[in-house]
């Protein structure tokens, strides 16, 4: 799920992040901010209307499309020719984290795509020969392949947990595919070598399920459907202490955990992060690039949930601010836990709209002359080939990597 690095050591870099504590109406948090000028247009970001969390309970339709190694299940709403927003869920969650966010954005004219990640819901592998791996770059390439399959040139990417990490990776390696970024908990790209160092005991205790998954006992729990569903529900209660979700809310999401590849994907991902399983050779080059902790240049809004146990004090984004070099804003959402978009849909949707109205850095990051053609788009390619755009800016500070 989260970030052992920032939880164990809050780094005050004094980089000018805008930290805003937002209290909400009911259990939602209102995230309205000062309007930003749209590049070249001077338009203001609209204010997202407040909605009570849980107003919507389902999507009208789940579509399927072959993309890369997957047959991806996804929900879609909004006008087909609107600017695209891709909403990416985390673990242990599914597309229902965005069941209230999607209609808010669709009503503002966005085309909203909410995919099940590999191993979740109706997303399946096209071949039984494909290894059920889940490296961070594999999941990012799944999203690139989905964008290609849907003929989406670029999109606003927004996520939390696994979704934040995936969006961060695409923004770092393929910035020409990203209009802007909303990343809950900030910079979550994992450097596996940094995972080897132990953290404070209290922090290690917070990651109990990751150590559990490293054992035969944890593996057996994930592979047994009844135990798996009980474990995932228990995680919800720990990481969202203020969220009074009911059985129906959990059960709608838990259907996605019955995917036949769910246990294999989740176990691989968490074991891979701590070096218990090796990187598939097809993703090795991408993981080498990500180990360098590339900066993110696209316009970005980062969010911290104040009640998320993985949010490091003081919750102002200062510990990861230096990773974001383009137009930037940060918000702390008060009284909200880990599943931020479902607990505070108005706040999350407003962050998406405001990120979309931050000044543009251009297709290839800051410095591209206005009106100059962007670099040729790099579409999804078989892992290990292609040339992701990575900018190295000198040595990076030592830091613990992210564990979400």
Q: In the structure, what pLDDT confidence band is assigned to residue 85 with cuts at 50, 70 and 90?
A: very high
Q: Which residue has better confidence, 392 or 222?
A: 222
Encode pLDDT of 259-289 as tens digits: 999 999 999 999 999 999 999 999 999 999 9
Task: Evaluate if residue 37 carries a pLDDT over 60.
Answer: no
CA distance 271 to 211: 9
Q: How far is residue 190's CA from residue 400's CA, in Å, rounded to a whole number?
A: 9
Residue 195 is predicted with a pLDDT of 82
Question: Average per-residue pLDDT in the chain?
Answer: 84
Give tens-digit pLDDT for 114-154: 999 999 999 999 999 999 999 999 999 999 999 999 999 99
Answer whether 118's CB lies under 8 Å from 261's CB.
yes
Question: d(Cα 246, Cα 45) in Å, to the nearest integer?
Answer: 34
What's residue 387's pLDDT?
52
pLDDT in tens, 183-234: 999 999 998 988 888 888 887 888 899 999 999 999 999 999 999 999 999 9
The percent of residues above 90 in pLDDT, for the chain, comes to 72
The two three-digit tokens of residue 162, written as one number = 């696994």
Is 371 a residue whose pLDDT tops 90? no
Alpha carbons 139 and 385: distance in angstroms, whole number: 16
Model confidence at 1, pLDDT cuts 50, 70, 90, reads: low
pLDDT for the residue 314: 83
pLDDT in tens, 308-344: 998 887 889 999 999 999 999 999 999 999 999 999 9
Average pLDDT over every residue of 372-384: 38
pTM for this model (two decimals) = 0.83
Q: Compute CA 191 distance to the chain's CA centroid, rounded to the nearest angstrom.
A: 16
Q: By C-alpha distance, which of 185, 231, 214 is closest to 273? A: 214
**For residue 203, what pLDDT is reported?**
79
Query: Measured between alpha carbons, how far is 304 from 259 in angstroms, rounded to an integer?
Result: 30
Distances (CA, A) of 125 to 131, 132, 183, 254, 265: 9, 8, 27, 20, 11
Least confident of 40-49, 55-64, 302-311: 40-49
- Percentage of the chain beyond pLDDT 70 is 78
Give me the pLDDT at residue 360, please.
80
What local confidence, expressed as pLDDT, does residue 202 receive? 80
């Amino acid at each position: 799920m989260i970030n052992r690095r920032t939880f164990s050591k809050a780094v005050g870099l004094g980089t000018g992040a805008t930290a805003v504590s937002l209290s909400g109406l009911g259990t939602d948090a209102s995230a309205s901010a000062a309007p930003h000028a749209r590049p070249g247009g001077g338009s203001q970001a609209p204010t997202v209307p407040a909605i009570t969390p849980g107003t919507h309970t389902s999507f009208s339709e789940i579509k399927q499309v072959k993309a890369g190694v997957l047959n991806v299940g996804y929900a879609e709403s909004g006008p087909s020719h609107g600017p695209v927003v891709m909403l990416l869920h985390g673990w242990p969650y599914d597309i229902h984290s965005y069941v209230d966010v999607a209609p808010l954005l669709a009503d503002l004219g966005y085309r909203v795509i909410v995919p099940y990640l590999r191993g979740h819901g109706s997303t399946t592998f096209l071949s039984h020969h494909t290894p059920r791996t889940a490296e961070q770059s594999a999941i990012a390439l799944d999203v690139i392949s989905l964008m290609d399959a849907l003929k989406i040139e670029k999109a606003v990417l927004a996520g939390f947990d696994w979704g934040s990490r995936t969006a961060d990776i695409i923004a770092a390696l393929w910035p020409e595919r990203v209009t802007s970024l909303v990343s809950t908990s900030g910079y979550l790209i994992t450097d596996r070598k940094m995972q080897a160092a132990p953290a404070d005991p209290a922090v290690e205790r917070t990651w109990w399920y990751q150590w559990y998954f490293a054992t035969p006992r944890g593996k057996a729990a994930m592979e047994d459907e009844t135990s798996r569903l009980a474990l995932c529900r228990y995680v919800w209660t720990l990481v969202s202490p203020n969220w009074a979700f009911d059985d129906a809310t959990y059960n709608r999401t838990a259907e996605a955990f019955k995917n036949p590849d769910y246990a294999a994907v989740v176990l691989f991902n968490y074991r891979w992060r701590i070096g218990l399983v090796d990187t598939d050779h097809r993703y090795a080059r991408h993981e080498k690039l990500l180990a360098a902790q590339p900066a993110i240049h696209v316009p970005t809004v980062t969010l911290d949930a104040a009640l998320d146990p993985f949010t490091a004090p003081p919750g102002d984004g200062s510990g990861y601010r230096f990773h974001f070099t383009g137009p930037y804003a940060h918000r702390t959402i008060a009284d909200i836990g880990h599943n931020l978009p479902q607990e505070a849909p108005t706040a999350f949707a407003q962050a998406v709209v405001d990120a979309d109205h931050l000044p543009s850095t251009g297709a290839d990051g800051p410095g591209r002359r206005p009106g100059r053609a962007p670099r040729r788009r790099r579409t999804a390619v078989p892992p290990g080939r292609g040339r992701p755009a990575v900018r190295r800016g000198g040595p990076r500070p030592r830091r613990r990597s992210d564990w979400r």
